[in-house]
Amino acid sequence: MISTTPLAEYLIRAGDRLPEEATRVLESLVNEGSMNKEDLSLLSRVKRAVLDHVIMQLYALGLVDVSTEGKSKICSLTRLGEEYLALVEEKKAG
């Protein structure tokens, strides 16, 4: 028998496995909107080498989207990312 996990519970569990820098990256994207990796690194206070790994993890979970504009990689929060942050806030409050 296959057991299923509700999406909200899955996201919370997956988020618990993310490095602490991921929260700062997501919060920066919520507060400032889409931005390139250089600005995101500065605003979130995450070293650029670490940022690339964090972005890939967030991208794999569908929380962040990465697009190319010229030579820049633009990171933006997805709708799922917004919902994830709402779940995290709800978990903290409750």
Digit-coded pLDDT (tens) for 30-86 = 999 999 999 999 999 999 999 999 999 999 999 999 999 888 899 999 999 999 999
Residue pair 75/36 in contact by the 8 Å Cβ criterion: yes
Domain boundaries defined on the chain: 7-89
* Gyration radius (Cα) of the chain, Å: 14
CATH number of 7-89: 1.10.10.10
Burial bucket for residue 92 (CB in 10 Å: 0-12, 13-18, 19+): exposed
CA dihedral of residues 55, 57, 62, 68 (deg, nearest 10): 30
Q: Is the pTM of this model over 0.75?
A: yes
Question: Going by DSSP bridges, is the β-strand pair 64-69/72-77 parallel, antiparallel, or unpaired?
Answer: antiparallel
